[in-house]
């Protein structure tokens, strides 16, 4: 399964990609979704820190939350993340 998300700027795209998938350990740092406020996603990481990610549109936040839920439930794993300027492609399997 693949998801493409567009952000307003490269910083937010890079931030999501770096927090979601660690290539060396082939794992995600995201432990839970704490809150969704319009186009903002607040996540809890495994180190117990919380981070905010601003998406371009509200619909992208909900789409990402639905996509990542099976990873958080350990039904799927993130296989790769690719950042192309303001776009992030996430693949899970």
Q: In what order do the strands lie in the sheet with 30-37?
A: 30-37, 40-45, 50-54
| pLDDT value of residue 69 | 95
Q: How many residues does this entry show for the chain? A: 93
The region, left, alpha or beta by phi > 0 then psi within -120 to 50, assigned to residue 38 is left
Residue in 76, 51, 56 with CA at minimum distance from that of residue 66:
76
pTM for this predicted structure: 0.88
Which residue segment(s) compose the domain that 39 sits in?
2-92
Over residues 66-93, the mean pLDDT reads 93
Q: Report, in this order, helix, strand and coil percent for the chain, each rounded to 5.
A: 30, 40, 30
Q: Read off the pLDDT of residues 22-67 as tens digits, 9 standing for 90 and up.
A: 666 567 789 999 999 999 999 999 899 999 999 999 999 999 999 9
> What are 81's strand-pairing partners?
90
């Amino acid at each position: 399964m693949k998801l493409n998300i567009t952000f307003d700027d490269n910083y937010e795209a890079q931030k999501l990609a770096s927090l979601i998938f660690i290539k060396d350990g082939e794992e995600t740092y995201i432990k839970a979704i704490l809150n969704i406020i319009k186009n903002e996603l607040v996540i809890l990481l495994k180190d117990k820190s919380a981070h905010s990610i601003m998406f371009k549109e509200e619909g992208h936040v909900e789409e990402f939350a639905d996509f990542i839920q099976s990873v958080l439930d350990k039904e799927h794993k993130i296989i790769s993340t690719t950042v192309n300027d303001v776009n992030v492609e996430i693949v899970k399997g």
